[in-house]
Amino acid sequence: MSEMATAGRRADMVRNRRVLLQVATEAFAELGTDVSMGEIAQRAGLAKGTVFRHFASKEDLLAAIMLQLVDRLTSTAERLAEADDADAALVEFMADGIEALAADRAFCEVIGRPSLDHAGVRDAIGRLCDAAEALTGRAQEQGTVRGDVTGTDIVLLLAGIHQTAAPLLAAQPQAWRRYLELALDGLRVTGARELPHPPGDLHLGGRSGKS
């Protein structure tokens, strides 16, 4: 096979994967995770075999969709890690994450939970927690965020704030901003009280708290 033909085949594979992820995200949001791989192939205008060449199972497809969001948030956290104003960087990271969740509630409710059983997703969430830990640590060094907050706390707060605002989002798409501000007040050093429970950890290794 010529180099030109090989390059064309690779481009087709990339395009097909992108189309599949987009179509599957929309199908799962509309119909739930019971939608078949055949239905997804039909919606994408591709052969069923093409779907399985990219994703061996529906679980792998769900995980790939979830990974897109987790990787995006991790990239955001890593990009912000070197910002001069660590507090503003942490706020931007949290706002970006909550906004992404609020933009597609069906994504979070339908795709998020089952994909958490996938090892690749769990590993990616661990990397996200590490990136959030770095952001949080810098804000603590600058004296704006209380010292007992962890990166895992921040990641869990993203989902918590989204879920708190969820009943309002249809009529008030920006309602989550109110609850983000309430959460940020709790993260600040000023007026902080000792937390009554140790921090959790989403890493596979089961580490708890800061080393």
Which tens digits make up the pLDDT trace of 12-62?
899 999 999 999 988 887 887 788 999 999 999 999 999 999 999 988 998
The rounded distance, in Å, linking the Cα atoms of 119 and 78 is 22
CA angle, 182 then 159 then 104, to 5°: 115
DSSP, collapsed to helix, strand or coil, labels residue 145 as: strand
The rounded distance, in Å, linking the Cα atoms of 91 and 97 is 10
- The pLDDT value recorded for residue 4 is 58
Q: What sign does the CA torsion over 144, 148, 149, 150 have?
A: positive
Q: Which amino acid is at 84?
A: D
DSSP 155-210: HHHHHHHHHHHGGGTTT-TTTHHHHHHHHHHHHBSTT----SS-----STT---S-
pLDDT in tens, 160-203: 999 898 888 888 889 999 999 999 999 998 876 776 767 777 77
201: left (phi over 0), alpha (psi -120 to 50) or beta: beta
pLDDT value at 68 more than 70 = yes
- The pLDDT value recorded for residue 73 is 95
pTM: 0.80
Query: Which DSSP state fits 118?
Result: S
